[in-house]
Copies of this chain bind each other. A is one copy, B any other.
Amino acid sequence: MTQASICTIGDEILIGQIVDTNSSHISRALNSTGIKVTRMVSIGDDHDTIVNSLEAELQDNEIVIVTGGLGPTKDDITKNALAHLSGTETYRTDDTQLQIIHDILSSRGLALLDINIAQASVPDTCEVIPNRLGTAPVMVFRFHEDRFGHPATLYSLPGVPFEALGAIPDVISDIKAHFKVSDIHHRTIMTYGIAESALSKMIESWEDNLPADMHLAYLPNPLTGVRLRLSIYGGIKEEEEARIEEQLKLLKPVLGDSMYSDHEDTLEGCIGSILKQHGKTLSAAESCTGGMISALFTSVPGCSEYYLGSVTSYANSVKENVLGVPEEIIARHGAVSSECVAAMAEGVRKITGSDYSVATSGIAGPGRGTDEKPVGLVWVGVSSEKGTETFSFRFRHDRKRNIERFAASALNTLRIKLVNELTR
């Protein structure tokens, strides 16, 4: 299997000011092309470090993908290191990229500065893949097999995530044209509400009976639940996919309601699909989740077909005056109560005219809350013409994580109501 390494350059990553998201996008693209990613490395903006590290990666891998170190205010450290590594000191200007730089700046009403023009200058040893989304071009350095004992290619991509992402399809095409790639077949099963260790116990006998060439990975995530990834390297696409499908058929009854997708869909995506399919509409009333549930619903393209809107009733006055929650409910039971989320869910359904609604009220923190209503407690209400139900969940995290988990458990509660009322 062709092997690749991904290398990010930039002091900003080493000092922890920036989280590297590029490597994960790039490795996903490489993996689905059947290229094995063996390492990811982050190094600083230093000439010798860059040269030595990239040489080591090229020694071990046929493909090395570099991102970063190319911003307009960066020194030319990365470019000089790449020039040195490829045995040149001479630069040329890439006219296509220069035109793009010119177009981008003028469309933004900005003047063309010297530091912008300099971005179109590249070592004369490289080929250029133009970057239409930004100013720094993709540089491709091909090394003869005499150099590292095998043919090797280094791709240098801009560090801006949006631009790096945009360059991936062109890089993958180039890789397919120059390297032997084998296929990888996989399916990801999404589950929610069962901890990793309990899940592994639950599916133990199914897992033990998997064919030897099928690999199962557990990918826990507090917001999407544990994902189960089943994969096979090589083989014929149709045959291997049919074999995976066969295993899924055995797994589904074991997982029951805790499985929500066998195609990497999100909870909000599933909710949208069911609503669209049945022509129903949705609204939300949020307190502790503060708008996050609504933001998740609207992250799905095409959500305007079923999503009407929401009220974030952070203050009790908004719960009463906008959502119509009776004052005595809050006075008697408090805002974090079964009664209050039920009234919120019914209230938002009434004022928006939606078929379904979900409501949350909880204590995100910081602090400890009270014995009866501790930090981490959330009440979730779900409502439709068939009735309103409420549930409570308890988490033990900080404010940010509690809010995220409140939102995820509200989405899962709503999903189960939709599945029960619309699909059975």
Residues on A lying within 8 angstroms of B by beta carbon are 11-21, 23-31, 37-44, 49, 53, 71-73, 108, 110, 113, 115-116, 160, 162, 195-198, 200-201, 217-222, 227, 229, 283-284, 286, 288-299, 301, 303-304, 307-315, 317-318, 321-322, 351-353, 365-366, 397, 399-401, 403
A12 to B215, CA, bound (A): 12
CB of B12 within 8 A of CB of A16, answer no
Query: At the interface, is chain A mostly helix, strand, loop or mixed?
Result: mixed
A409 to chain B minimum Cβ distance, whole angstroms, is 14
A15 to B227, CA, bound (A): 14
Since A15-B229, A290-B295 are in contact, a sample of 14 more A-B pairs with Cβ atoms closer than 8 Å, ordered by chain A residue number, is: A11-B217, A16-B25, A16-B29, A17-B229, A20-B20, A115-B197, A286-B294, A291-B292, A301-B365, A301-B366, A307-B314, A308-B314, A308-B318, A322-B322
CB of B41 within 8 A of CB of A40, answer yes
Across-interface contacts of A38 in B (CB, < 8 A)? 14, 43-44, 49
A321 to chain B minimum Cβ distance, whole angstroms, is 7
CB of A12 within 8 A of CB of B219, answer yes
Our pick among B27, B197, B217 for the contact of A113 (Cβ within 8 Å) is B197
Instruction: Give the 8 A-B residue pairs with the shortest CB-CB distance, closest first.
Output: A290-B298, A291-B294, A16-B28, A291-B291, A16-B27, A291-B295, A40-B42, A309-B318
Across-interface contacts of A31 in B (CB, < 8 A)? 15-16
12 contacts between A and B (CB under 8 A): A14-B39, A15-B28, A23-B42, A71-B218, A72-B200, A73-B196, A108-B195, A110-B198, A162-B397, A290-B294, A299-B400, A308-B317
A379 to B383, CA, bound (A): 33
Our pick among B12, B20, B220 for the contact of A71 (Cβ within 8 Å) is B220
A27 to B160, CA, bound (A): 20
A141 to B226, CA, bound (A): 31
Q: Smallest CB-CB separation from A307: which chain B residue?
A: B314
Across-interface contacts of A222 in B (CB, < 8 A)? 162
Answer whether A18 and B12 are a contact pair too, CB < 8 Å, given A220-B71, A304-B315.
Answer: no
CB of A317 within 8 A of CB of B353, answer yes
A397 to B304, CA, bound (A): 20
A71 to B196, CA, bound (A): 9
CB of A18 within 8 A of CB of B304, answer no
Our pick among B39, B116, B352, B400 for the contact of A315 (Cβ within 8 Å) is B352
A229 to B10, CA, bound (A): 14
A299 to B288, CA, bound (A): 10
Our pick among B40, B73, B295, B303 for the contact of A197 (Cβ within 8 Å) is B73
A53 to B41, CA, bound (A): 11
CB of B318 within 8 A of CB of A352, answer yes
Across-interface contacts of A400 in B (CB, < 8 A)? 299
Q: Smallest CB-CB separation from A4: which chain B residue?
A: B14
A351 to B319, CA, bound (A): 11
Across-interface contacts of A29 in B (CB, < 8 A)? 16
Across-interface contacts of A201 in B (CB, < 8 A)? 113
Answer whether A110 and B15 are a contact pair too, CB < 8 Å, given A301-B399, A314-B304, A403-B299.
Answer: no
CB of B17 within 8 A of CB of A19, answer no
CB of B73 within 8 A of CB of A116, answer no
CB of A13 within 8 A of CB of B40, answer yes
Our pick among B13, B49, B73 for the contact of A24 (Cβ within 8 Å) is B13
CB of B39 within 8 A of CB of A41, answer yes
Q: Smallest CB-CB separation from A291: which chain B residue?
A: B294
A322 to B113, CA, bound (A): 49
A192 to chain B minimum Cβ distance, whole angstroms, is 16
CB of B11 within 8 A of CB of A16, answer no
